[in-house]
Amino acid sequence: MKRALLSIAVVGLFLLFGILLGVQLVSEELGIDKPIPLEINQIETKLQNETFEELVNKGEKVEEIGRFNFFSDLGEGVANGLNKMSRACLSRMVATIHYLNGKESSY
- pLDDT digit string (tens) for 37-83? 766 666 666 666 667 777 788 888 877 776 667 888 889 999 999 99
Give residues with Cβ within 8 angstroms of 107, minimum separation 6: 91, 92, 94, 95, 98
Say yes or no to pLDDT of 20 above 80: yes
Task: Give CA–CA dist 105/99, Å, rounded.
Answer: 7
93 and 51 within one domain: no
60 and 25 within one domain: yes
Structure-model confidence comparison of residues 17 and 104, the more confident one: 17
Asked, for residue 2, whether it belongs to a domain, the answer is: no
pLDDT at position 63: 78
Structural domain for 47, as ranges: 14-68
pTM of the complete model = 0.37
Q: What is the DSSP string of 50-62?
A: S-HHHHHHHHHHH
Say yes or no to pLDDT of 100 above 80: yes
Q: How confident is residue 90, by pLDDT bands cut at 50, 70 and 90?
A: very high
Asked, for residue 24, whether it belongs to a domain, the answer is: yes
The total of structural domains in the chain comes to: 2
Say yes or no to pLDDT of 106 above 60: no
Task: Give CA–CA dist 107/96, Å, rounded.
Answer: 10
49 and 28 within one domain: yes
89 and 64 within one domain: no
CB 98 within 8 A of CB 105: yes
